[in-house]
Structure 1
Amino acid sequence: MPSPIVPAPQPASPDVLRDSPFLKACRREPAEITPVWLMRQAGRYMSEYRELRAKVSFLDLCKRPELATEVTVTAAEVLGVDAAILFADILLILEPLGFQLEFTKGEGPAIHNPVREAGDVDRVRPLQTAEPLGFVADAVRSIRAALNPATPLIGFAGAPFTVACYAIEGGGSRHYEKAKAFMYRDEGAWNVLMSRLVDATAIYLNSQVAAGAQAVQLFDSWVGTLSPADYRRFVQPHMRRLFGQLDPSVPSIHFGTDTGLLLTLQRDAGGSVIGLDWRVELDEAWDRLGPSVAVQGNLDPVVLFAPLPEIERQVGRILDQAGGRPGHIFNLGHGILPKTPVDHVRALIDMVHEKTSRN
């Protein structure tokens, strides 16, 4: 990996950032190009990231602002994207709430004291301030200072449902049977847990905005496991309250996977931009959502393993569906996969820029 990036004293110009294609799209305003950024754009598919990870643990990478700055800014510069996204993890918020979090090699995250019974919710500590997560705000400030002054920075957090699933399951899951059984068995305890996660997440995201993020994204990666009726009952009221607590001066992106049946419910819960995964057609989804929100998406990440002509065909299909309407942010339908060819990622970004240049 290159030598650590030393943040330069170059404060971002509010006007330059406000006029960036990404923030224009978030506001559903015409932009000179369709902006593109990619979820997990700093990750294992990049040799620079792998070299650094060989020296430090994943949690160290998240908790040391100078390293989070290095991987965030390097990815944005190497790829030429229209927005950078903070390097962190959605589960960092669990530690100050009293959970014992570990990232085990080859196994992913493990929570050693999961919530399993209603009484376990009592030991979930409310987050009073963002101070226990101050290293993330420090990383935002450091990234903002090192990043191109015209490139917006996106902060993020896990949405309460997805974080609750991890907290109850004790890690990842295929069907989330423990989390959903807990939800069905004791709705009162579920609501208390979700309320604590909502309050903590609002404090956390607002601290990222105060530190210099120009937008925030909520990742509800597992909410697609719910039926519309269950989403409406167990999640939507909490998401409404969360979006109501977020700093309204910056746009918010509401993203989930496998949410084709939940999109209008997500829109009604909140967010300036609704993220779409690849299981829906962008034009049909946008028509259902209506003109009040921008959309983000939605190339299947596996398409990046295809030959370049096929990638170009798939990019063209999505751009045709967007139809040049203001408010489209090009992205994948989920994160870049670890073995994705870097040259295909660069080619994708160039394709979007070349096909949508309006100068």
Structure 2
Amino acid sequence: METANNHLLLKALKGEETNRVPVWMMRQAGRYLPEYIKIREKYGFFERCQTPELAAEITIQPVDIIGVDAAILFSDILVVPQAMGLEVQLIESKGPYLPNPIRIEKDFNRIYIPNVHEKLSYVTAAIKLIKNNLNNRVPLIGFAGAPWTLLCYMVQGSGSKTFDTAKAFCYQQPELAHRLLQMITDTTIEYLTAQIEAGADTVQLFDSWGGLLSKADFEIYSLRYISQIVEKIKDKAPTIIFAKGAWHSLQEMSKTGAAGLGIDWCITPEKAREFAGTNICLQGNFDPAKLLAPIPIIERETKAMLRSFGKKNYIANLGHGILPNVSVDHAKAFVNTIKEFDFKNY
């Protein structure tokens, strides 16, 4: 049983020695947990996000049930476009739908940089409640979508494997693209600052679609804006950048002042460390689909991951969000293998 006040995650982000590797899982608050499904059957998605008591209950569930070393706020990256004036629908089993996307200059008349303390007050209220209910057992991670990923949804109008419409917008109307990215960036700085002031111990930027860009385009349309955000908030709380598929820019991301870099399973720990350097915390990178394997394989593969990363400057995690069809026992096997792993014996 863990002792109270488990601060392993924050120690790892500061580069301090830890008695073991901390572990949490992206999307751990939600869809694979039977306790969450019961709540989902009663309340719509944004109702869950916008009701602080529900968001707090969902956020804390995996701490109690799975035993992870951090809670991550239950919310969605699309609350930011919503606060900026766009209609956002979340259709169960289909994903996000934005019926009035941003495509041409006059569309900018419909969006604005909001007062986050008004428009997103339900998030800060949830954070305060979560912090109170957690009672310092584990740290709380706040988050936001990176500007490039939010632009993808705001221009495409829905999910996509390629986001061709969003990319075309950037290549055909670069001035409008940068105007939109800056609006998202300014909003996100205020939003994450509000999360930290409400009690978030660390924050993560999710650039889920960063890997759709070439290295050069990633640095123009994504990293430039991520860097602005990190610069403004890094002294308020440690910041983690997770840019899925953008391993080509780990070296550049490591220079932003971020405390941690999340990586997916398509790059080896050794190569990620070579690119990122030894002075930054790496987070990842178990393939979420591997949690569907038999438990002995999960345990074996998790141990192999730990040996490859080593104990220092490392947070164990998945390389993307946990899948909805993963059983709780398999999630626990992953977490418990990490918590019980002794580097001295391997």
> TM-score scaled by structure 1?
0.92
Aligned position for 1:40: 27
Encode CA deviations 1:232-268: one digit per residue, 9 max, x unaligned: 2222222211111215131101002112222223223
Contact 1:17 1:152 survives alignment (8 Å): no
1:25 equivalent among 3, 9, 12: 12
1:114 equivalent among 96, 101, 110: 101
- AA matched with 2:286: L
2:198 equivalent among 211, 216, 231: 211
* Equivalent position SS for 2:203: strand
State how far apart, in whole Å, the 2-side matches of 1:276 and 1:207 are: 26
2:294 equivalent among 307, 320, 325: 307
Displacement of 1:148 after TM fit?
A: 4.2
Contact 1:299 1:332 survives alignment (8 Å): yes
Contact 2:25 2:321 survives alignment (8 Å): yes
User: Would you identify which runs of 4 or more consecutive aligned residues in structure 1 move more than 4 Å?
Assistant: 16-19
Residues 230/247 of structure 1: CA separation in 2 closer, same or farther (3 Å cut)? closer
Displacement of 1:269 after TM fit?
A: 3.9
Are positions 1:97 and 2:84 aligned together?
yes
2:39 equivalent among 27, 41, 52: 52
Q: Output aligned runs, 1:40-189, within 5 Å.
A: 40-189=27-176
Are positions 1:354 and 2:335 aligned together?
no
State how far apart, in whole Å, the 2-side matches of 1:344 and 1:27 are: 30
Q: Output aligned runs, 1:278-317, within 5 Å.
A: 278-317=265-304
Residues 356/162 of structure 1: CA separation in 2 closer, same or farther (3 Å cut)? farther
Residues 356/114 of structure 1: CA separation in 2 closer, same or farther (3 Å cut)? farther
Matched-pair identity in %: 38
Are positions 1:253 and 2:252 aligned together?
no
State how far apart, in whole Å, the 1-side matches of 2:271 and 2:343 are: 24
Encode CA deviations 1:282-332: one digit per residue, 9 max, x unaligned: 1220121102311000100011111111111111111111122x2100000
Alpha-carbon RMSD across the aligned residues, in angstroms, is 1.7
Contact 2:211 2:246 survives alignment (8 Å): yes
Aligned position for 1:10: none
When structure 1 is superposed on structure 2, of 176-185 and 237-246 the one drifting more is 237-246
When structure 1 is superposed on structure 2, of 58-67 and 241-250 the one drifting more is 241-250
- AA matched with 2:284: G
State how far apart, in whole Å, the 2-side matches of 1:322 and 1:357 are: 11
Count how many residue pairs are aligned between Structure 1 and Structure 2: 342
Give structure 1 stretches of 5+ with no counterpart.
1-15
- AA matched with 2:19: E
Aligned position for 2:323: 337
State how far apart, in whole Å, the 1-side matches of 2:184 and 2:55 are: 24
State how far apart, in whole Å, the 2-side matches of 1:331 and 1:211 are: 25
Displacement of 1:33 after TM fit?
A: 1.1
Give structure 2 stretches of 5+ with no counterpart.
none
When structure 1 is superposed on structure 2, of 246-255 and 194-203 the one drifting more is 246-255
Residues 102/322 of structure 1: CA separation in 2 closer, same or farther (3 Å cut)? same
- AA matched with 1:347: A
1:265 equivalent among 226, 249, 252: 252
Displacement of 1:130 after TM fit?
A: 2.7
* Equivalent position SS for 1:253: strand
* Equivalent position SS for 1:82: coil
